[in-house]
Structure 1
Amino acid sequence: MIERYTLPEMGRIWSDAHKYEVWCKVEVEVLAAHAAAGTVPADSVEPVRNAPPPNAKDVDEIEKTTQHDVIAFLTAWADNTTPREAAAYVHFGMTSSDLLDTALAVVLTEATDEILSKLNNLIGVLRDHALEHKDAIKVGRTHGIHAEPDTWGHRVADITFALARSRDRLLRAREAVGVVAISGAVGTYSNIDPDIEKQVAENLGLKPSPVSTQVIIRDGIAEWVNALAIIATVLETFALEVRHGQRTEVRELQEPFGKGQKGSSAMPHKKNPIISERLAGLARLVRGYTTPVMEGIPLWHERDISHSSVERIALPDASITVDYMLNIATRLASGLIVNRDRMIANLESSGGLIYTSVVLLELVDAGMSREDAYALVQGAAMETWNTGTPFRETLRTAASVAGKTLDEARLDKVCEPQRYVDRLAGTFERLAELS
């Protein structure tokens, strides 16, 4: 991922320097477990443990010849080991994927924990925002058209619960990727005891894979990337609400706009929803990684490396992008301006058409058939659409033509926005309990 969208801690997690630190840690854990089991000399452990991780440039230089990154790493690290002979027992009984998949599990869980920290924070911010605006009456919209009254807090609550479910998915995916395989060339433990794998997994705070071939099958990694893609898409859902709400014709919402900020190089009046649009664009990128990662599940026989090149790009980029998205989404939610007056003005702009559903039910309750009541209300509504005459007037006229008398006092009572949202209390009670 480019530097523009890479936050410092997530960048560190996916850096080459940290990768080699983790590779060294895995190799030391395997070596120490061998030594404890008596498989290798006990005095080989400390010299290797004390050897600093190799410089990435040194590894790259060696790889130009070996065309094999693990061998290049082992060679460069051996050069840092004193005495160098102690390095002879490094990687004992292992194959490259034992190191790669186990180290990747460490890095994936670290990246997940960083994302979870930001996700938890955003859930809290959105929860509090929704509760603050639980009574902010606005018009609900279906298909982009005014529907029934709603509240802004209700809409945000929906997104907040979706993010909470996304958090649960990511926690399950963390379990799926947090597995270790130290099982040898085709996963049969031909040159390494399964107890070594168990010990290494325990020391790393992970679990042994229940089975591996040469690699751990990639369904867990695919699950992890899909969990990130869902998070990104829920964030886009929030962004889409803001983008719509900030349109000039709507003006119910507005992104934070800082002192000195500029909206357009040509038009000084512009305040554009740039954070929301950035979230929308980046979500497309994260979703784009799901298919190539999924295609890493079927590999040839015990292993090929067609998944490797994909994962070197997709896994860091997907997690770095989601990490960044959570950061800017939190900034957006924290500074979002909610224009309640404009929400009321928009709600009233249709001349009362938003009350057709309750009027329909009132007419049915007064004894009309649903078909006749629907035709009467729709006819009055279309007249309001076409002429701008308030709905209650067109309704009164249509009822008179049909020989019906309206209970005006009853309609006054039911044609109130608050009537439509009175039963949302339970939703907000559940939201308040969300952590």
Structure 2
Amino acid sequence: MGTEQSTCVATTCDRYPRLAKFHNTIPQFDMADKDQQILDLQQELERIKAQGNLQFDAYQTVLTRRYCSAAMSELFSQRSRIGIWRKLWLALAESERALGIDTITLEALEEMKAHLYVTDSDFEIARVEEKKRRHDVMAHVHAFGVVAPSAAGIIHYGATSCYVTDNAELIIMRDALDILLNRLAKVIWNLSNFAMKWKEEPTLAYTHLQPAQLFDLQAIEQVRKDLRFRGAQGTTGTHFQGDASKCDQLNELLCTKLGFPSCYDVSTQTYTRKVDLIIANAIAGLGATAQKICGDIRHLANWKEIEEPFEANQIGSSAMAYKRNPMRSERVYSLARELMSKPANFANTLSDQWAERTLDDSAIRRMDIPDMFLLSEAILLGLDNITDGLVVYPKRIQSRVQEELPFMVTESIIMKLVAKGASRQEAHEEIRVLSHQAGSVVKNEGKPNDLVSRIKNTEFFKPIWGDLDSMLDAKLYTGRSVDIVERYCGAGGPVELKLVPYMKSIIETSTAELSV
């Protein structure tokens, strides 16, 4: 028990600073007392490990640790989920009492109200009970009854497990959709402002200057609007002590208490898993949009036309100091890839629900539903950060436009020649030959595009020589782009009108800050 044990304890304390206080209090002269202190230290270590408080010694999802907001992470936490279960049990008991079940006392309801927050000790009680019962819902029924003893006999009265699990899932998804809608509105606002600021900058037909589309906002708004409550029905979904009218009254009371317009028209023990798939499809569409946006930004960054925000002390590469990697766009692109894969899981879960239901939906939904929303928020936080600080390099854009502009005006040259009496086919052939010659100079000799000088030195084009310089104005070839952006993103346009319900959140929300 000598030096070897002391070294072991010191090493353990280095790894877990919270335990250092135990080591520091071990008297060096009393071996028996030292043995007890070592035992206490080991027990404390086991206790901390059991609670999962060693953030560097247990796997944590990167979504909650680095990429998502505290609000979204907390919403999907166990404390939030079980707290919602307790609210559901309280709402059920209150509604049942209102409909005539007088065995539910006011004292029971008051005790339930006083213990809606789930404490650490409540979780410990449930953990011990679940070990015996192998049933998480019943374990938490027991834990709730311990702190609300007057209600212990009526908690979960007339309910099946899916009353709390499914309805809690619907409540959580509803609240998560509200978070996503506000995040998405902020990104659309950023893109709209960007489009208005740069609407007159001609560029080589890249889509980054197109106004933000509202398809994703509308799709997610629709699934949020269509979301309903499962209700309180049991395994068959038909009875309230034989009084069918009270079934409907009970569900109406629950919907009012829990903030839903109504229940789904038909549900048995579970709400249909089609709901999860519909939500997943809408959110996966957001992932596709995000990947498209960030893919374009990455290409534009490579061409040095546009960059995402790059901080003064940011390092792009540990080896190549000059690099300015678009790491924000790369992250969003990567997360979007995973998000787009989610509907396949929900489709498989739906199709594998035999008859009324099977339980093989349980484990996968515990992972997929939180992941879907956490991924979505991480993507939107990334897009908010990117789109609020995009850096545009007009001179570089103009330089690239000038490289290609001679080719872009060739159709207009042909039209002018025809208007002056030339053959359209002859004009096309002449311009084709000169264009290929100029292209060869650019590609094979590395010289500037000399198509304009070739045209000015070719007799066939003499009728339009006087017009040629005025035709080399890039703004002549942007069509109605400026008008479209102003009409869509400007005052009174569709974007402004659609974002009205979200303006308070947009104004109050600061631009997202990202961890690497």
For normalisation by structure 2, the TM-score amounts to: 0.75
- Name the structure 1 match of 2:386: 332
How many corresponding residue pairs? Answer: 413
Unaligned runs of 5+ in 1: 142-153
- 8 A Cα contact 1:180 1:201, kept in partner: no
- Name the structure 2 match of 1:409: 466
Picking from 291, 308, 316, the partner of 2:370 is: 316
- Name the structure 2 match of 1:82: 149
- Name the structure 1 match of 2:500: none
CA distance 1:81–1:235, change in 2 (3 Å): same
For 2:247 and 2:224, how far apart are their aligned partners in 1? 26
- Name the structure 2 match of 1:147: none
- Name the structure 1 match of 2:110: 46
- Name the structure 2 match of 1:151: none
- Name the structure 2 match of 1:203: 257
CA distance 1:310–1:376, change in 2 (3 Å): farther
AA partner of residue 49 (structure 1)? K
- 8 A Cα contact 2:417 2:461, kept in partner: no
- 8 A Cα contact 2:133 2:139, kept in partner: yes
- Name the structure 1 match of 2:267: 212
For 2:127 and 2:434, how far apart are their aligned partners in 1? 76
Report how far residue 367 of structure 1 moved. Answer: 5.2
Picking from 316, 319, 337, the partner of 1:284 is: 337
Picking from 382, 390, 395, the partner of 1:341 is: 395
1:37-85 deviation line (CA, Å, top 9, x unaligned): 00242414223232344433433332233222211221221112133xx
Unaligned runs of 5+ in 2: 1-60, 443-448, 497-516
Report how far residue 233 of structure 1 moved. Answer: 2.1
Picking from 482, 486, 497, the partner of 1:428 is: 486
For 2:313 and 2:441, how far apart are their aligned partners in 1? 45
AA partner of residue 465 (structure 2)? E
CA distance 1:411–1:58, change in 2 (3 Å): farther
- Name the structure 1 match of 2:140: 73
Picking from 374, 379, 390, the partner of 2:450 is: 390
- Name the structure 2 match of 1:136: 201
Picking from 267, 282, 285, the partner of 1:230 is: 285
Secondary structure of the residue aligned to 2:203 is strand
CA RMSD of aligned residues (A): 2.2
- Name the structure 2 match of 1:256: 309
AA partner of residue 309 (structure 2)? P
- 8 A Cα contact 1:34 1:196, kept in partner: yes
Picking from 361, 385, 396, the partner of 1:307 is: 361
AA partner of residue 101 (structure 2)? T
For 1:93 and 1:53, how far apart are their aligned partners in 2? 23
AA partner of residue 375 (structure 1)? E
- Name the structure 2 match of 1:362: 416
Percent of residue pairs identical: 22
For 1:387 and 1:211, how far apart are their aligned partners in 2? 71
Mapped pair 1:59 → 2:119: no
For 2:239 and 2:454, how far apart are their aligned partners in 1? 82
Report how far residue 124 of structure 1 moved. Answer: 1.1
Picking from 471, 475, 478, the partner of 1:418 is: 475
CA distance 1:304–1:370, change in 2 (3 Å): farther
Q: Which has the larger radius of gyration?
A: 2
AA partner of residue 229 (structure 2)? V
Mapped pair 1:91 → 2:156: yes
CA distance 1:35–1:337, change in 2 (3 Å): same
Mapped pair 1:266 → 2:266: no
Written as runs of structure 1 = structure 2, the 5 A alignment for 1:369-380 is 371-380=425-434
Picking from 178, 183, 195, the partner of 1:118 is: 183
For 1:335 and 1:277, how far apart are their aligned partners in 2? 16
AA partner of residue 48 (structure 1)? M
CA distance 1:103–1:35, change in 2 (3 Å): same
For 1:266 and 1:219, how far apart are their aligned partners in 2? 49
AA partner of residue 36 (structure 1)? A
- 8 A Cα contact 1:383 1:394, kept in partner: no
- Name the structure 1 match of 2:30: none
Report how far residue 177 of structure 1 moved. Answer: 3.2
AA partner of residue 471 (structure 2)? V
CA distance 1:290–1:357, change in 2 (3 Å): farther
- 8 A Cα contact 1:352 1:391, kept in partner: yes
CA distance 1:379–1:52, change in 2 (3 Å): same
For 2:250 and 2:287, how far apart are their aligned partners in 1? 38
Secondary structure of the residue aligned to 2:205 is strand
- Name the structure 2 match of 1:181: 231
- 8 A Cα contact 1:252 1:343, kept in partner: yes
Report how far residue 102 of structure 1 moved. Answer: 1.1
- 8 A Cα contact 1:381 1:395, kept in partner: no
Report how far residue 13 of structure 1 moved. Answer: 0.4
CA distance 1:24–1:121, change in 2 (3 Å): same
AA partner of residue 111 (structure 1)? A
For normalisation by structure 1, the TM-score amounts to: 0.88
**Larger displacement relative to structure 2 (36-45 or 337-346):** 36-45
Picking from 160, 166, 179, the partner of 1:101 is: 166
For 1:306 and 1:378, how far apart are their aligned partners in 2? 64
- 8 A Cα contact 1:235 1:279, kept in partner: yes
Secondary structure of the residue aligned to 2:204 is strand
Structure with more contact order per residue of length (Cα contacts < 8 Å, sep ≥ 6): 1
CA distance 1:187–1:416, change in 2 (3 Å): same
CA distance 1:380–1:306, change in 2 (3 Å): farther
1:318-354 deviation line (CA, Å, top 9, x unaligned): 1112112211211111221100000000111236112
Secondary structure of the residue aligned to 1:180 is coil
For 1:97 and 1:376, how far apart are their aligned partners in 2? 75
- 8 A Cα contact 2:290 2:383, kept in partner: yes
AA partner of residue 383 (structure 1)? Q
Secondary structure of the residue aligned to 2:149 is coil
- 8 A Cα contact 2:405 2:472, kept in partner: no
For 1:96 and 1:224, how far apart are their aligned partners in 2? 23
AA partner of residue 89 (structure 2)? E
AA partner of residue 70 (structure 1)? V
For 1:119 and 1:429, how far apart are their aligned partners in 2? 21
**Larger displacement relative to structure 2 (365-374 or 39-48):** 365-374
